[in-house]
Amino acid sequence: MQGRSPQLSMELNRLLLLTSFLLHVEEGHASPTRLVCDNRLIQKYIGEAKDMEKRAGQCQELRTLSCPMVLPVVGVNLQQWKSKSNETKRREILCDLVLLVRAAAGAQGQVTQECVARQLSQLYQHANSFLLLLQTFSWEAGPWEPGCSPHSTEQTHVTAIFLTYRQLVQGKLRFFFHDLAKDLCKQGQGGGRDPQCGAQ
């Protein structure tokens, strides 16, 4: 049998990325639509980001890194943010996540303390999962290429990686999912229940 068509290959690649994400997500039955439409899930990830930052800060003998890590500047100007298209927002967050994943991986190679290494490993997995997920959302044809140069800063403190990740999840990612929910959830939920109804 001849090779698959490029379009079919692209769809299969997206399916693999999505499956990968769902395997990493602790909520085994989570789906991209559920993640966007059920506000409790993003709140869960914000809580986990805060916990990782807190636990890393409690580790003994936190030393500065010998090689500085390049981290994205993830602050949000809400007025500017609202004026951007969903595709622009998605690409911006993808750029931030690429830098975060690289920084976490680079820092893991420099730390020897088990306490910090464990938190860095968890952050790497979470950031990489979001990276995979956002690659499945696209409003433009063709695969995403990480050819971007976001605002960045060099940091030698490990805690800066956790702070940046928490700010990204709490800020841009939460706002992005909120924006997507306006369209996605009306279509996907139809006459179904509102995910926030019945929340404890």
Q: Read off the amino acid at residue 96.
A: D
Residue type, 86: N
Contacts 24+ apart (CB under 8 A), 135-139: 135/14, 135/17, 135/94, 136/14, 136/17, 136/18, 136/21, 136/32, 137/32, 137/90, 137/180, 138/87, 138/90, 139/85, 139/86, 139/87, 139/90
In a domain, 200, yes or no: no
Mean pLDDT of 105-125: 90
pLDDT tens for each residue of 37-74: 878 888 899 999 999 999 998 887 777 888 899 999 99
Give the domain range for residue 58.
8-189
Q: How many domains does the chain have?
A: 1
The pLDDT of residue 183: 74
pLDDT at 162: 95
Residue 154, number of CB atoms within 10 A of its CB: 11
Which residues partner with 64 through β-bridges? 157
Taking only the tens place, the pLDDT of each residue in 76-86 is 888 999 898 88
- Over range 7-30, report the average pLDDT: 49
More confident residue, 24 or 127: 127
Q: Give domain status of residue 46, yes or no.
A: yes
Q: Give me the phi and psi of 37, to 5 degrees please.
A: -85, -30
Tens digit of each residue's pLDDT (9 = 90 or more) over 127-183: 998 988 888 776 655 555 555 666 888 998 999 999 999 999 999 999 998 888 887
More confident position, 138 or 36: 36
Domain assignment present for 2 = no
Q: Would you say residue 87 lies in a domain?
A: yes
pLDDT confidence of residue 28: 38
- Domain with 104 in it: what CATH number? 1.20.1250.10
User: Is residue 100 within 8 Å of residue 161, measured between CB atoms?
Assistant: yes
- Asked whether residue 25 is domain-assigned, the answer is yes
Asked if residue 3 belongs to a domain, the reply is: no
Helix (H, G, I), strand (E, B) or coil at 1: coil
Single pTM value for the model: 0.74
Question: With bands split at pLDDT 50, 70 and 90, how would you rate the model's confidence at 14?
Answer: low
Residues contacting 88, CB < 8 A, separation 6+: none
